[in-house]
């Protein structure tokens, strides 16, 4: 089934998250036959879990440490997320790689730790604009997924870095090629992240190897996110 995940990044504290989740809960029947997950900041996880309880909408964190506990000031462990009622976690988002020095090795460790704790994992991979221009896309993707092992609770998110928060979007054909290549490396679902919006969601989600979307800025608006979910439902119904 198509997975549509909302990555709110560092937006929506508890009050805004509550308002959004209440609205999303009211619209659950309109979302269609898709798996929907919201990924709030840590401080908004608890209220999101509470307000979406009893629905089919999951709540995932945006990151997690790989150890179950320890002297890691400022970090959150996978068992802590499970205790909170969180369903899954994003690892390796390009924001983490770009701004916080996240390496492939750390992404792999985070994925292993989260999966071991019983969390669903969205592992992000993708090339920069310079890497694409140099013809290194496949080399980069191969290296990034080399730290991952197939798992029933693991999904890959292909997010070309040059298309995140820039307004640029990979063409459906370009995204399809990358998704097909990733599936040739790991037999796992692959979702697309990179300026997904209501007006481009359907062409992207229509591609045979695109299994959903990791939505950034367009997921902050309830109407916008709802329409993307509906696009996924129309295609894969």
Q: What are 67-91's pLDDT values in tens digits?
A: 999 999 999 999 999 999 999 999 9
Per-residue pLDDT, 165: 67
In angstroms, the CA 205 to CA 176 distance is 9
Question: What does 79-139 look like in DSSP terms, one character per residue?
Answer: HHHHHHT--EEEES-HHHHHHH---HHHHHHHHHHHHHTT-EEEEEE---HHHHHTT-HHH
- Domain 3-236 grouped into CATH 3.20.20.70: yes
Q: What is the pLDDT of residues 143-164, one digit of tens each?
A: 999 999 999 999 999 999 887 7
Tell me the pTM.
0.96
Report the pLDDT value the prediction gives residue 236, as an integer from 0 to 100. Answer: 67
Q: Domain ranges for the chain, please list them.
A: 3-236
Are 129 and 95 contacting, i.e. CB atoms less than 8 angstroms apart? no
Q: Catalytic residue numbers?
A: 93, 159
């Amino acid at each position: 089934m198509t997975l549509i995940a909302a990555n709110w990044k560092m937006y929506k504290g508890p009050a805004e998250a509550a308002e959004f989740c209440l609205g999303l809960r009211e619209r659950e029947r309109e979302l269609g036959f898709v798996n929907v997950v919201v990924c709030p900041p840590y401080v908004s996880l608890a209220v999101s879990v509470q307000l979406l309880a009893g629905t089919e909408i999951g709540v995932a964190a945006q990151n997690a440490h790989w150890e179950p506990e320890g002297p890691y000031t400022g970090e959150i462990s996978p068992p802590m997320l499970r205790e909170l009622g969180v369903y899954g976690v994003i690892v390796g988002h390009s924001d983490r790689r770009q701004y916080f020095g996240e390496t492939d090795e750390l992404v792999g460790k985070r994925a292993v730790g989260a999966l071991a704790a019983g969390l669903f994992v969205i592992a992000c991979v993708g090339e920069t604009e310079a890497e694409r221009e140099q013809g290194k896309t496949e080399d980069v993707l191969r290296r990034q997924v080399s730290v991952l092992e197939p798992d029933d609770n693991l999904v890959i998110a292909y997010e070309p870095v040059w298309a995140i928060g820039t307004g640029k979007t990979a063409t459906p054909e370009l995204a399809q090629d990358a998704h097909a290549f990733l599936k040739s490396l790991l037999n796992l679902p692959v979702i697309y992240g990179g300026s997904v919006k209501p007006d481009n969601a359907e062409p992207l989600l229509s591609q045979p190897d695109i299994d959903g979307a990791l939505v950034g800025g367009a997921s902050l608006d309830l109407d916008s996110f709802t329409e993307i979910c509906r696009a996924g439902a129309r295609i894969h119904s």
